[in-house]
Amino acid sequence: MAGKPKLYYFNGRGRMESVRWLLAAADVEYEEELFETAEDFENFVKRGKLMYQQVPMVEMDGMYLVQSRAILKYIATKYNLYGKDLKEKALIDMYVEGMRDLNDMIMLYPFSLPEEKQKNMDYILERATERFFPVYEKALKDHGKNYLIGNQLSWADVQLIEVILMVEELKPGILSAFPKLQEFKAKVSKLPGIQKFLQPGSQRKMKLDGEEMEAVKKVFKIDKNLILKHMS
């Protein structure tokens, strides 16, 4: 019997959190090796298993998987969360890529300059409510099914519940104008693997506070000015 997947990352969300969500939705238990210092990460790179010398990396099925999209596609396919045919896969990809755009904005938001935080917050909320959420609200309303791709849970649904909760952390009640998304959130949150993942003490990571953010920068030797350049 194959062992549990093993996730290699820092003790935070970043690009690995969507992997954690997808494994949780598939009700798959996993282990984690979390880097606490730059030396931890440098020693890991020296093992020679890390293509491109960057994480996330997931060890599973005898492989060392890197690049978040590749990891997510592999897991989604393995656990029947990637549609039944080519057309459904294309639709899932379109939904997921849109959610990734929003996810990236939120992920970089904590690195905003103090004087730009409100502007960046307003921009994220405007994009969420005017560009992204209306797409998913309309999809659920038009076909009247439980999930974005009919009545079968997919990777797109898992990505959507993750993004919804991240936006709600920025502004509680933001779903008030989206009744279908409210229903969707309630339904998906009750699925066994996801319900367990949402409980206190699970492997779900909380949003970074100031101290944790500084620790992440030190582990990966992140250049603050480079982050701010990408934010703008």
Q: What DSSP assignment string belongs to the chain?
A: -----EEEEESS-GGGHHHHHHHHHTT---EEEEE-SHHHHHHHHTTS--GGG-S-EEEETTEEEESHHHHHHHHHHHTT-S-SSHHHHHHHHHHHHHHHHHHHHHHHGGGS-GGGHHHHHHHHHHHIIIIIHHHHHHHHHHH--SBTTBTS--HHHHHHHHHHHHHHHHSTTGGGG-HHHHHHHHHHHTSHHHHHHTSTTSSPPPPP-HHHHHHHHHHHT--HHHHHHHH-
* pLDDT-above-90 percentage for the chain: 75
CATH 3.40.30.10: which residues of the chain? 6-79+198-231
- Residue 220: pLDDT band with limits 50, 70, 90: low
Main-chain phi, psi angles of 200, to 5 degrees: -55, 140
Residues 98-148 have pLDDT tens digits of: 999 999 999 888 888 889 999 999 999 999 999 999 999 999 999 989 999
> Can you tell me the distance from the alpha carbon of 207 to that of 219, in angstroms, rounded to the nearest whole number?
17
The pLDDT tens digits of the residues spanning 172-218 come to 999 999 999 999 999 999 999 999 999 999 999 987 665 556 666 66
Burial label, 122 (beta-carbon count in 10 A; 0-12, 13-18, 19+): exposed
The token duo for 185 is 């959130």
Q: Which fold has domain 86-191?
A: Glutathione S-transferase Yfyf (Class Pi); Chain A, domain 2 (1.20.1050)
Phi, psi of 90 (to 5 degrees): -65, -40
pLDDT of residue 75: 98
For the chain, give every residue range classified as CATH 1.20.1050.10: 86-191
Given 3.40.50.920, 3.40.30.10, 1.10.10.10, 1.10.132.10, which CATH number is that of 6-79+198-231?
3.40.30.10
How many CA atoms within 13 Å lie on the side-chain side of 79? 22
